[in-house]
Chain A
Amino acid sequence: ETGVTQSPTHLIKTRGQQVTLRCSSQSGHNTVSWYQQALGQGPQFIFQYYREEENGRGNFPPRFSGLQFPNYSSELNVNALELDDSALYLCASSRDGHGYTFGSGTRLTVV
């Protein structure tokens, strides 16, 4: 049974650019959640996808968007990057919302 895999592990982008982060769900999981964890803080919920549909969203602007694919893998896209977007982005998968498994995150630095 494979766990949750996120890519890339680290990324440096320039303010104003766009970025795509990827997440492969654990086998058998149909739900993916994304969280933003700023340095020294707890994670903040961005959104969740269940069977390719967004079914929950936190307090993040529309320039944060996502996709879930038929194999339940997922992407997080962020447009018009700002310095405050620098953070660790965590992906978590679950089956029907029960028992989250987290990946090791993508560290995004915006300069």
Chain B
Amino acid sequence: AQTVTQSQPEMSVQEAETVTLSCTYDTSESDYYLFWYKQPPSRQMILVIRQEAYKQQNATENRFSVNFQKAAKSFSLKISDSQLGDAAMYFCAYLPEDSNYQLIWGAGTKLIIKP
């Protein structure tokens, strides 16, 4: 069965510093997508960044970047220049290519930003 593991229940970082959130996944598929979502107290899941497995280049979105290691099945999120508004739950999610779009989620990491 495909699974997603986030081993850090909680992380904290000083404002303006860099933090990395970890995610590993288990799959036998070769084509899939990986996502990081942010869930603030408003509860809405907000897409942070997306990675296609066939792309070797790591995705970046402004202050957010990923380190995608396909062989190791690892997909970490780096947040640079952390801001107070980054405080939220962060979820890693996996989407198989032929899944009928069923996202498989990790348990989440709570990110605390210290002013």
Contact = CB atoms under 8 A, between A and B. Distances in A.
Contacts of B108: 40-42
B70 to A, nearest CB: 22
Given A42-B91, A55-B100, A56-B101, A92 B45 contact: yes
B99 interface: yes
A42 B37 CA distance: 11
Contacts of B105: 42-44
Interface in A40-58: 40-45, 48, 55-56, 58
A56 B100 contact: yes
B107 interface: yes
A33 B101 contact: yes
A94 interface: yes
Contacts of B100: 48, 55-56, 97
Interface in A75-111: 88, 90, 92, 94, 97, 99-100, 102-105, 107
A105 B44 contact: yes
Contacts of A74: none
Nearest to A98: B101
A68 interface: no
20 contacts: A31-B101, A33-B103, A40-B108, A41-B107, A42-B93, A42-B106, A43-B103, A43-B105, A45-B102, A56-B100, A56-B101, A58-B102, A90-B43, A94-B101, A97-B100, A99-B47, A100-B47, A104-B42, A104-B44, A105-B43
